[in-house]
Amino acid sequence: MESKQPDDLVERMQGGDVDAFEEFFNTYKRPVFATALAITRDPFLAEEVLQDCFVKAYRVRERLDPTRSPLPWLQRVTINLCYSRISRRKALSEPLTSLITNLVVDLATPPDQVVESREVLEVLQRGIDALPPKQQTAVILYYLHGYSLAEAAEIADCNVGTMKSRLHYALKALRIRLPVERRIPVTAVRQPAPAMRRVSR
Amino acid sequence: MSCRRIRRELLWLVRFGDFDAGSAPHLEHLAGCQGCRDAVGLDRALVRQLRTALAERIGEASPSPSVWEGVLARMAQPEPSMGRPWSARLAAFLRAGSAMAGASLALVLALNLELAPIGAIPAPASTDTEVVTATISAGRGAGLRHWEGRAPAAGTGLVREIDSTITWRPTPSEQLPLARPSLMAPGGEDADTAPATDPADAPAVGGPAVVINLVPVDAATMSSSNPTDESGESDDQPAAPAVPPAGGPT
């Protein structure tokens, strides 16, 4: 996982060293903020979650294991805080980027360009928002942060098989969503055949 | 192996890079199947676009420099209390629910059981002619006293008074819920229960009649203390299925 920490950072923080806590904060704030922003799509809300997450980390610092990276724990707390806040808000504030919609895609455009289009990205954004929280978390951890399956499973507190299953169903949901919104004519998409060697048994 | 199944497994393999020696049939199939290549290609395009969409969500945004001050300010605040534990809240909820249920039950009993003993009401064979009888001693049944004479004035049902017996045939609107034929339990002892009055005397309209025999306190006490006498009475007196046992609810 990213954001390597100095070996004694957590230990110093546990000793009440506020400077160590600031260093701890600066070390992990980016991935935590990225997760919060990816889920909430609201920078202000993401900053609130970030602050709450680190305040909580400071309050339970005695329970942190100095021998392990605190990042999985921080990410898990961040995810929980995000979804609890989202459920309180009921509806997410609409980001500015969503205003750029209704860009008519010319269906005569070659399919690969359709896939690359702006509108498909918007459809995907809405599709990600519509995913169940567990699948959304899996997608963010695996495809955004690039965590391995084992790391993502550790953060999401599940096993690797479950993480694979969540990713599988998330992709399936997104793929189904695309033709419904008439953005990708699935049957028309023709990818060039990969240059693969025949594998003999 | 069907193409559909191979395609499903291929997508799994490609997504998670789980290729191994056992994947050779899948790769061989992929090389010769245009449909599967399309499916895999579309899936890879989807993943690529998904990564782009996710990266777009966070963009170049980073937390503002004032976030650290916000963290320090929140740390200075007292830790919020966790509130009452869930077990205490559950117990309070159950207590409130039990109290409401008990009050509702008491209300229902007070409104219904006073005049319509549940266990002794005979089910009617015919709703037009069947008569519901009830006998109560004059010295007991305080709840009935206020009812005597009031129901005829309040309603339109036929009331007959012969000696110490009051017969009241309420109209459907005057019937208590528990005495309505539709709510009575079917079958049982109704066949052996003699009506208090001749059904021919009762009007055809309206619900089952209630016959109340006013018996002196002493007689009621004696009859209740001697079961044989009580059974003997049943030959001469109307059957009293609606009479609660001595000491029972009125």
Question: Rounded to the nearest 5°, which phi and psi values hold at B127?
Answer: -70, -20
Q: Which A residues, 5 through 24, put their C-beta within 8 Å of a C-beta on chain B?
A: 22
pLDDT per residue over A95-138, tens digit each? 433 433 333 333 344 555 555 577 788 888 999 999 999 999 99
pLDDT per residue over B159-204, tens digit each? 555 556 666 666 666 655 555 555 444 444 444 444 444 444 444 4
In this predicted structure, the answer to whether residue B225 has a pLDDT above a threshold of 50 is no
Q: How far is A82 from chain B (nearest CA, A)?
A: 15
Please give the average per-residue pLDDT across A25-45, as a whole number: 92
CATH tag, A94-185: 1.10.10.10
In this predicted structure, the answer to whether residue B7 has a pLDDT above a threshold of 60 is yes
Task: Please tell me the distance from the alpha carbon of residue A55 to that of residue A148, in angstroms, as a whole number.
Answer: 28
Please give the average per-residue pLDDT across B229-249, as a whole number: 42
pLDDT per residue over B108-161, tens digit each? 888 776 555 555 555 555 444 444 444 444 444 444 444 544 544 444 455 555
Q: How far is A139 from chain B (nearest CA, A)?
A: 9
Task: Please tell me the distance from the alpha carbon of residue A77 to that of residue A51, in angstroms, as a whole number.
Answer: 11
- Chain A residues within an 8 Å CB radius of B24: 199-201
User: Across chain A, what does the average pLDDT equal?
Assistant: 77
User: Taking CB atoms and an 8 Å limit, are B58 and A34 in contact across chains?
Assistant: yes
CATH tag, A1-92: 1.10.1740.10
In this predicted structure, the answer to whether residue A86 has a pLDDT above a threshold of 50 is yes
- Nearest Cα neighbor of B177 from B120, B122, B130, B116 is B116
- Note the pLDDT of residue A75: 94
Maximum separation of any 2 CA atoms in chain A, in Å:
65
Task: Please tell me the distance from the alpha carbon of residue B187 to that of residue B175, in angstroms, as a whole number.
Answer: 20
B80 to chain A: closest CA residue: A56
All CATH 1.10.1740.10 domain ranges in chain A, comma separated? 1-92
- Note the pLDDT of residue B96: 84
User: Taking CB atoms and an 8 Å limit, are A143 and B47 in contact across chains?
Assistant: yes
Q: Which sequence spans correspond to the domains of chain B?
A: 3-57, 136-236
Q: Whats the size of chain B, residue-wise?
A: 250
- The lowest-confidence range among A72-76, A171-175, A191-195 is A191-195
Give the pLDDT band (50/70/90) at residue A4.
low
pLDDT per residue over B42-74, tens digit each? 888 888 889 999 998 888 888 888 889 999 998
Six-digit token pair at B10? 């291929």
- The lowest-confidence range among A25-39, A59-73, B70-84, B111-125 is B111-125
**Least CB–CB distance from A143: residue in B44, B50, B68:** B50
Question: Rounded to the nearest 5°, which phi and psi values hold at A55?
Answer: -60, -40
- Note the pLDDT of residue A97: 37
Question: Rounded to the nearest 5°, which phi and psi values hold at A72?
Answer: -60, -40
